[in-house]
Structure 1
Amino acid sequence: MKNIGIVVTPGCWAMSLFAVTDFFRIVSLLEKQTGLAAGYRVHLLANAADTRLDAAGGIAIETDSPLEEARPVDWLIFPAIEGPVLEHTPSPPRRALAYLARHCEANRVVLTLSTGIVPLAATGLVNGLRINTHWAFLPTLQQRYTECHFRARESYLQDRWLYSTGSLHGSFDALLALLANDRGDHFAQLCAAHLLVSSPIQMRPVLPGTRRHDDAAILAVQEWLESNPQLSLSLEQLASRFGFSERNLKRRFTLATGLAPHLYLQKVRIDRAKKLLISGALSVQQIAHQVGYENVSYFIRLFQREAGDTPAQWRKTNGAY
């Protein structure tokens, strides 16, 4: 079982905090429904000496222990912090800093949600890493923490053990990517389909390992493909849309993501098809058309090659509970 530590900082957004606890509640419910052993235990850790802290808006949060007294965990998650209190957010106490240093030196996962990066950035432990954050705070954070490399993207970035997000949706994208790495694609897709934050068509694909780069232009191409997988653009048209030559787009895209553009689009389409199969009653033919395939037989063959099952078998095995 993995232990998940959510670091509660005074002034953090309760919405961000509870989004994480609710995510793992959904995971727990689906584990029971699918007959899986419980895989995660969540601990609330206070980034202060007092175990009772006020979130944004004065909402009282009772934590399990101060961070400095906590046992080691597998993943540390820092919820977003309200803008007006960011400049007053103190560095973690000395013993808490030692705890964080041990965690990072062991290459254990850290996930920071938007402005939740601030307590960690103040320690210097993420110096030199690429960090995603909310666009509105990008200039301020870059000026304050000059050794960090801040970006502002809709979803998440990964640099080594650090996952960082720029939005609430990006938080779920990162959590699903971590879940897919840990429990496999089938279970991550099931959790994605049960999240109540958006429809399956709006959810980002679960494609771990494709956001470990810092090529902003390629990230923009990825995000466009993820939002428009049903459109059929040639490599020439896609390159023209984003100001590349065909050769340069293919080279940079493959270098950044590990996949050629057409293979990336293929995986995005299959990912969306999985979510639609799990969460709705659309026919296989309707789903094929929604994800960009007019030839249903080709879609079925491609899906089986990628997923190991036909779409009908996938739906039967992974359908909603």
Structure 2
Amino acid sequence: MAPYGLHEVLGEAGRGPNALRSLHPTLVAAETGAYETGSGVRVTPQQGLEDSTADIVVVCDIHLEPGLSPEGRWSEEIAWVHRHIAADVLVCSACSGAVLLAEAGLLDGADAASHWIMADLFRDRYPNVKFRPERILCDSGRAGRLITTGGASSWQDLALYLIGRFCGAEEAARIARLFLLGDRAYGQLPFASMTRPRQHDNAAIADVQTWLADHYASSNPVTAMVARSGLAERTFKRQFKAATGYAPVDYVQAMRIEEAKQMLETEPMAIEEIAVAVGYEDPTFFRKLFRRRVGITPAQYRQRNRLRTLGE
């Protein structure tokens, strides 16, 4: 869990012989009484918001039920963060904590990382935020004083970043060795799934989506989609993007890559055969597209998922 993990790791920083300084983490919440997180873990804050100031603020992951809006939530926490922003304090978020920063209006016009599963929320509620699902750690503005990080375990990357920045690279390396914190150089895209298309009531587009689920590997699928819809091509593309959040070609590519990922995880087929099976006659193009969308090559994806399945 991020609050306790960060507290333990940051609390150790500074004890090395060549550390530039030490850090003194404190768990802060709107109320000081113990409470249970969404996963049932009991947390006891050390200070309340009104009683605390900080040189570094870290907003940890937040619990938001699927389909519920963040509107009107966390008003006290947002006000507290704004006070620290006004004092030019370094403000960071771990995982879904970026939602609170977005709700506070701090990420508009900036790059931002969060858990990839938040892509729908950022797309629909925070369209001015440049959501970066491929990033583990992201400089989100204020001249390096607003940092956001990706998935649930990205608090580890944030901890090492903060230790390296304030305590020195040697101390960060010592902490990494002590806690066995690793570098995920490929980012988090290899773990991400296709972003869920928007819910909509456009019957022509819904019919095309249903058809495509069984025909994504066909040649020239976008042309066939336009014909099936009965719409002019320009009108179709505009309505498809408005309804699903995807351009038609991006939607096809996303479906093909998701199927390829499933095959790489479960089938012994050669990568060239998988490329053809999902609709790409040119395996070189398939490899380039896969790497662009997933962050690693098909061979690397197969290897890491095979190792993970075996528990190695």
TM norm structure 2: 0.52
Which of 43, 57, 60 is the equivalent residue of 1:79? Answer: 60
Distance between the aligned counterparts of 1:59 and 1:34, measured in 2?
35
Given the alignment of the two structures, is residue 144 of structure 1 paired with residue 128 of structure 2, yes or no?
no
Given the alignment of the two structures, is residue 114 of structure 1 paired with residue 95 of structure 2, yes or no?
yes
Off by >4 Å, runs of 4+ in structure 1: 35-38, 202-205
Aligned with 2:43: secondary structure? Answer: strand
Match of residue 297 from structure 1: none
Distance between the aligned counterparts of 1:65 and 1:71, measured in 2?
6
Distance between the aligned counterparts of 1:19 and 1:92, measured in 2?
23
Distance between the aligned counterparts of 1:159 and 1:87, measured in 2?
25
Is the contact made by 2:137 and 2:158 (CA closer than 8 Å) also made in structure 1? yes
Deviation at 1:92, TM superposition (A): 2.6
| Alpha-carbon spacing, 1:163–1:35, altered in 2? closer, same or farther (3 Å) | closer
Aligned with 1:40: secondary structure? Answer: coil
Deviation at 1:58, TM superposition (A): 2.3
Which of 24, 28, 42 is the equivalent residue of 1:41? Answer: 24
| Alpha-carbon spacing, 1:203–1:186, altered in 2? closer, same or farther (3 Å) | farther
Which of 9, 17, 38 is the equivalent residue of 2:3? Answer: 17
Distance between the aligned counterparts of 1:86 and 1:26, measured in 2?
38
* Amino acid corresponding to residue 105 of structure 2 in structure 1: G
Deviation at 1:32, TM superposition (A): 3.3
Distance between the aligned counterparts of 1:152 and 1:146, measured in 2?
14
Distance between the aligned counterparts of 2:67 and 2:159, measured in 1?
24
Q: Deviations over 1:214-242 (max 9, x none)?
A: xxxxxxxxxxxxxxxxxxxxxxxxxxx86
* Amino acid corresponding to residue 110 of structure 1 in structure 2: V
Which of 61, 69, 84 is the equivalent residue of 2:43? Answer: 61
Q: Which has the higher strand share?
A: 1
Residues 167-186 of structure 1 aligned to structure 2 (within 5 Å): 167-186=151-170
Distance between the aligned counterparts of 1:74 and 1:152, measured in 2?
28
Match of residue 52 from structure 1: 34
Match of residue 26 from structure 1: 12
* Amino acid corresponding to residue 173 of structure 2 in structure 1: Q
| Alpha-carbon spacing, 1:85–1:25, altered in 2? closer, same or farther (3 Å) | farther
Distance between the aligned counterparts of 2:146 and 2:25, measured in 1?
19
Distance between the aligned counterparts of 2:66 and 2:60, measured in 1?
14
Q: Any gaps of 5 or more consecutive residues in structure 1? A: 1-14, 206-240, 244-321
Distance between the aligned counterparts of 1:58 and 1:182, measured in 2?
33
Match of residue 208 from structure 1: none
| Alpha-carbon spacing, 1:138–1:51, altered in 2? closer, same or farther (3 Å) | same
Larger radius of gyration: 2
Match of residue 179 from structure 2: 195
Distance between the aligned counterparts of 1:156 and 1:37, measured in 2?
23
Match of residue 128 from structure 1: 109
Aligned residues: 185
| Alpha-carbon spacing, 1:23–1:162, altered in 2? closer, same or farther (3 Å) | same
* Amino acid corresponding to residue 118 of structure 1 in structure 2: V
* Amino acid corresponding to residue 42 of structure 1 in structure 2: P
Deviation at 1:20, TM superposition (A): 0.8
| Alpha-carbon spacing, 1:195–1:136, altered in 2? closer, same or farther (3 Å) | same
Is the contact made by 2:18 and 2:171 (CA closer than 8 Å) also made in structure 1? no
Identity of aligned residues (%): 21
Aligned with 1:22: secondary structure? Answer: helix
Aligned with 1:181: secondary structure? Answer: helix
Larger mean Cα displacement after TM superposition, 31-40 or 138-147: 31-40
Distance between the aligned counterparts of 2:100 and 2:67, measured in 1?
9
Is the contact made by 1:154 and 1:170 (CA closer than 8 Å) also made in structure 2? no
Q: Deviations over 1:48-95 (max 9, x none)?
A: 34532221222221112322x03320111111124526836553335x
